[in-house]
Structure 1
Amino acid sequence: MTSGIPDSIMALVVKQDGYNPNPEGGIHFETMEPYLEFKEIAVPDLAAGQVLVGMAMAPINPSDLHFLKGEYGQPRRAGKPAGFEGVGTVIAAGEDPYAQSLIGTRVSFAATPDGTGTWATHAVAEAMLCIPQPDSVGDHDAAGFIVNPLTAAAMFEEAKAAGSPGIVLTAGASQVSKFIVALARDSGLDSICIVRRDVHNQVLTDLGATVILNQTEDDFAAELTSTMKERKPRFFIDAVADATSTQVFNAMGKDSTWMIYGSLSPETPPLPNTGELIFRNKVIKGFWLSPWLSGAALDEKLAVFAEVQARFSDGRWSTEVGATVKLDSAVETLVEALADPRGKVFIQP
C-alpha cells in the first residue's frame, strides 16, 4: 500500500444480511450487539472514480438505525461498514483526474453500495458525491451535511412549489424540522411543529416556529383544529407516521399533501377517511433522498448544496450535538447516547 495509506481499516461492520422479514418499525434498541461489530477489514481497491477518505466524524441518523434493523430501502450486507454519511480528508484516489484532484481536500460525502460506510477510520467514496467544505463549516455540520440538510431543503422546495402558506412538521424538534423551520421563516411561511416534549420549544421559537403543539397535552386536538383553521397550511412533512399523523392530516383542509419521509413510530398509521382523498383532493406521498440525488437536475442540486453550505457557514443553521462516541467503544455506548433527546449523536475514530 502507498505510503500514508493504511493496510487495513477499523470499522463498525454490519452483522446481518438483507431485510428484516418481520419489521418492527421504530428505532429503539436495547443493545447494538446483534447488529454491529467493531473489527478490522482490508482496504478495498479503488475504482477510477473513487477516493479513500480518512474519517473525521460521522453522524447517526434515523435512516442508519432503520438500516441496521433491516427496515430501510436498501439491504444490509454483512461484513461491510455501516454509516451513510460523514466528513474527512481525501488521502488517496483512483485514476480519474477529478478524483485525483480531491487528494488533500476535506469533503462531506454520502456512502454508496459500491463504496464503504462511514462508521470507520477510513471510507471509500465516489468522487462525484464528495462535496469540498470550507473551514467555515465545522466538522459536526459537515459530517451531517447531506442526509438531513438536503432532505430538509428538497422537501421544503416541494412545499413552496405547492403554494402552501405554511408547513406542518412532526418530530418538530428533529434536525430536519429545525432546518425547515428556519427555511420557512426566511421565506415568510408558517411552520407548525408537533412535539412530544417541551424541552426544545425555546430553540424552535428562536428559529422562527409559528406554532408549537405538544401532542401529549389534553387540549392537543382542540388546539390542532384551531390552528389548522387559522393558519390553513396545506403541506404536512411527517417523520413519525402514526395515529397522530393521521389526526393532523384529517384536520387539514382540501388540496393538502401529507409527505412521509420517516417512520419513527412502530405503529402503522390508520388511513384517513377515503372521502378526504377522493372529494377533497388530498394526497399522501413519500420522500426519499436517494432518488432525488440521482434524479434532480444538476443545477437544482448545485443550488441546494450552495444554500445548505451558506447557511452552515454564516450560522443560520447549526447542528445540535447530543453526544460524540468513540468508534472503538460505540457498540457498548451507543444505546445510552441515543437515549438522550437533546441532539444528534456522532461517531469519531
Structure 2
Amino acid sequence: MGKMKAAVLHEAGQPLKISEIDIPKPGPGEVLIKMHASPINPSDLAFMGGGYGIQKKYPVVPGFEGSGTVVEAGKGFLPKLWNGKKVSCAASPKYNGCWAEYMVTSANMCVPVSKKINMEQASMMFVNPMTALAFFDVLKKLSNSKKEKRGIINTAAASALGRMIIKLGKKYNIPVVSVVRRQQQVEILKAEGAEFVVNSSDADFESQLKEIAHKLNTNVIFDAVGGSLVQKLLDAAPRGAHLFIYGRLDPDICEILPGNLIFSGNHIHGFWLAEYLKNKNFFHSLKTTRKIQSLIGNELSTQVNKTFPMEKISEAIEIYKNNMSSGKVLIRF
C-alpha cells in the first residue's frame, strides 16, 4: 500500500496538518480518484469547526467536493464505467474527504466531466450549482393554488451561490431580491446585472426590503445568515412566506416572534443539500449534473479568487474566510 499527502484534522477547531497517510483501496461500488482540485466551501468550515450535520471519526481529511481522475475501480458496473475518466466528485459521508492526493468515494457520487469544462470548474459542480438548482425546484413545488407569480429573497447574496441564484432567476423569469451587508457588494452585484439588491447595514433596510418584497411577492426566502436577520426577513415578507434556513454565518442565537407563526401563516424550514439529495435517485443526480455542465459557462460558472497547493491550505482557508465574496479559493493536488 502506497502513501499520499493529505490535510488532516485531528480535532474540531484545530489547524489542519499536512501528513502522509495510506492511499485507500476502493471496495465494491467504489472508486479511487487521483484528486486534481477542491474548493473551500462554508460547509467545509462548519465541518472543521465541529458544527456540521455529517460527523466523522478523527483524525479525518475534510473537503466535500472536488475533481480528479478515477485510477482504480472496485467491483461493480459503475466503478468500471468511470475507471480512467475525469470526474467531478463528492466525498463519501463514511470516509476521508477531498483534501488529499487520493480519495475513495462511491461511484454514485461521481459524474464524468465534459471535455468543454476545465477541471477547476468541475471541482465546484456539486455543492453550489446543485443547491442553486434545488432552490428553484423547491420554489416550483411549493403550493401556489392562486397561481401567483412569486419571487425569492436570498441572503449572503454576494457569494458564489448568491450570484448563481441571481442568474438563474433571470433565466427562469423569477424575481430575486439579493440581501448583502456592504455597499461595495451592492455595487458589484448591480454591475453584474442584479436588479434588486438591498444592504442589511442600511438604517432603512427593513422598510426597503418590505416595500420591494411586497411589490414583487417574494414570499420564498433562502437564508444563509441566521441570527437577528431571520426575524427581519419574516417581518418584511408577504403573509404566508416560506423561510428556508441553509446556513449560519451569524453565530448569534436566532430568535423568532411566535406571532410570525401564529398570525402570519409563515413557515420555517431547514434546508440541507445532503438531505434533499437523499430523496433523489442516481439518474436524477446524473440528469442534474448534465444540466449543470450545460449551464456552467454562464449561469452556474464560479469565479475563482486564488489557487493554492495543499501545503498552503491553512493560508488558503484564512483568505477564503476573510474574502468570501471575492470568489472561491481552490486547493490543487
| TM surpasses 0.5 | yes
Specify every segment of 5 or more residues in structure 1 that has no aligned partner in the other structure, as ranges: 2-6, 18-31
Q: How does 1:4-23 map to 2 (within 5 A)?
A: 7-16=2-11
User: Shift of the alpha carbon at 1:261?
Assistant: 0.6
Question: In 2, distance between residues paired with 1:81 and 1:96?
Answer: 26
Q: 1:142 to 1:203 in 2, by over 3 A?
A: farther
* Matched residue type, 2:6: A
User: Shift of the alpha carbon at 1:207?
Assistant: 5.3
Specify every segment of 5 or more residues in structure 2 that has no aligned partner in the other structure, as ranges: none
Superposed CA offset, 1:58-112 (max 9, x none):
0110000000010000224222211111000111111223212212211011101
Q: Is the Cα contact below 8 Å between 1:225 and 1:251 reproduced in 2?
A: yes
Q: 1:316 to 1:221 in 2, by over 3 A?
A: closer
The one of 321, 326, 338 aligned to 2:321: 338
Q: 1:153 to 1:137 in 2, by over 3 A?
A: same
1:320 aligned residue: 303
Superposed CA offset, 1:17-52 (max 9, x none):
6xxxxxxxxxxxxxx7x2311101001222021111
* Matched residue type, 1:77: K
Q: Is the Cα contact below 8 Å between 1:50 and 1:127 reproduced in 2?
A: yes
Question: In 2, distance between residues paired with 1:186 and 1:39?
Answer: 45
Q: Is the Cα contact below 8 Å between 1:190 and 1:209 reproduced in 2?
A: no
Superposed CA offset, 1:259-287 (max 9, x none):
0011011112211x322212321100011
Q: Is the Cα contact below 8 Å between 1:68 and 1:76 reproduced in 2?
A: no
Moved more, 64-73 or 146-155: 146-155
1:28 aligned residue: none
The one of 195, 199, 223 aligned to 1:238: 223
Q: Is the Cα contact below 8 Å between 1:182 and 1:207 reproduced in 2?
A: no
Matched, 1:90 2:73: no
1:175 aligned residue: 160
Moved more, 61-70 or 316-325: 316-325
* Matched residue type, 1:13: V
Question: In 2, distance between residues paired with 1:337 and 1:258?
Answer: 27
* Matched residue type, 2:304: V
User: Shift of the alpha carbon at 1:337?
Assistant: 4.4
1:159 aligned residue: 139
Q: How does 1:183-332 map to 2 (within 5 A)?
A: 183-205=168-190, 208-271=193-256, 273-298=257-282, 300-312=284-296, 314-332=297-315
* Matched residue type, 2:268: I
1:39 aligned residue: 19
TM-score by length of 2: 0.92
Q: Is the Cα contact below 8 Å between 2:31 and 2:107 reproduced in 1?
A: yes
Question: In 2, distance between residues paired with 1:198 and 1:136?
Answer: 36
Q: Is the Cα contact below 8 Å between 2:129 and 2:300 reproduced in 1?
A: no
2:95 aligned residue: 115
Q: 1:124 to 1:331 in 2, by over 3 A?
A: same
RMSD across aligned C-alpha pairs, in angstroms? Answer: 1.9
TM-score by length of 1: 0.88
How many residue pairs end up in the alignment? 327
* Matched residue type, 1:292: Y
Q: Is the Cα contact below 8 Å between 1:257 and 1:283 reproduced in 2?
A: yes
Q: Is the Cα contact below 8 Å between 2:316 and 2:329 reproduced in 1?
A: no
1:24 aligned residue: none
Q: Is the Cα contact below 8 Å between 2:222 and 2:243 reproduced in 1?
A: yes
Q: Is the Cα contact below 8 Å between 1:9 and 1:42 reproduced in 2?
A: yes
1:27 aligned residue: none
User: Shift of the alpha carbon at 1:203?
Assistant: 4.8
Question: In 2, distance between residues paired with 1:165 and 1:210?
Answer: 15
User: Shift of the alpha carbon at 1:147?
Assistant: 0.9
User: Shift of the alpha carbon at 1:212?
Assistant: 0.3
Q: Is the Cα contact below 8 Å between 2:210 and 2:235 reproduced in 1?
A: no
User: Shift of the alpha carbon at 1:199?
Assistant: 3.2
